[in-house]
Structure 1
């Protein structure tokens, strides 16, 4: 997969500020790092200041400031992204738990790390839960992380527990990896 920023990198802080009213009518901000970091920081700041739930998928991987992380309710890295943010190696589930605690110490409430075929793990200051993924032969993994995050946001919006939300997100991403192409493989809720 190749990222060609193009129009994404023309998005500005002013563009976000001009649309501030949209933050009043949302419940969750789901964002990632494919736009300038200053834009992500402004969007997170606006959502957080208005009491909205903030989900940050830190892709592509980069070091993030403690100021930004303190405003994130759910950080959803993969293993590589978690290693970058925590500055710790992540080669096992125990490593993921330890690195998640490092990130939580910076202010994030929930770290949900996707572990590929091993599933995903939810870590808070006081607990951790692993959601296993069923063995399968993927057709195309492009978009699986994005689909997982969409499932996560959907589950949270509908009032599911975090664990049930992770199961939903896993089902969504499993549907995506069983079809060719990032866009055509995105399922509807009826398909889930």
Structure 2
């Protein structure tokens, strides 16, 4: 079993480790060992908004059904809790929500059991930057570019001055002495 120690590895170090995990390495049902003394309550499958004081958050068990022993299917879009009008009524009638969550599924026969089409959805929609376990040629994932240019005339001036200085001293981006200036240039 693989476990992560806080602060030891960075994201770039974790990527190859996570890519090499097999189905046997993943703990699909982390709470299963507790069933002997803490029985599963179907209220855990309530899908809706949870509220405490002024805080309202979505609770989406249909996104992790395997942890509850069910076959995972493509979940519905996330809830918009800002639009939730009567959370108390939804909570009182939680049985309807539970039926909606487990209705499309069945009990899992293996811990990694998923419905047809789920893994394609997972890699394309939920986690498009993960590398699928099959070793085909990597697929191109479109990455949106959000460069709207400088938002302030002062930043435009800073960028121009840095460009001018770097051209005058004839340095390359790989030059460690000027790394901070190139970083500032990219930020501006």
More relative contact order, 1 or 2 (CA 8 Å, 6+ apart): 2
TM-score scaled by length of structure 2: 0.25
TM-score scaled by length of structure 1: 0.25
Structure (1 or 2) with the greater strand fraction: 1
